[in-house]
Amino acid sequence: MMSYEAYMSQVIQPMRDELTRNGFQELRTAEEVEQTLPNAKGLTLVVVNSVCGCAAGLARPAVVHSLKHENRPDNIYTVFAGQDKEATAKAREYFEGYPPSSPSFAIMKDGKIMTMIERHQIENNDLQTIANLLTNAYDTYK
Decide if pLDDT at 1 tops 80: no
54 is catalytic: yes
Catalytic residue among 27, 45, 47, 52: 52
Catalytic residue among 43, 54, 107, 130: 54
Residue 48 DSSP label: E
Q: List pLDDT tens digits, range 25-36.
A: 999 999 999 999
* pTM of the predicted model over 0.85: yes
3-state secondary structure of 111: coil
Mean pLDDT of the chain: 95
| Residue pair 26/20 in contact by the 8 Å Cβ criterion | yes
Q: List pLDDT tens digits, range 82-113.
A: 999 999 999 999 999 999 999 999 999 999 99
117 is catalytic: no
Alpha-carbon distance of 67 to 102, in angstroms, equals 20
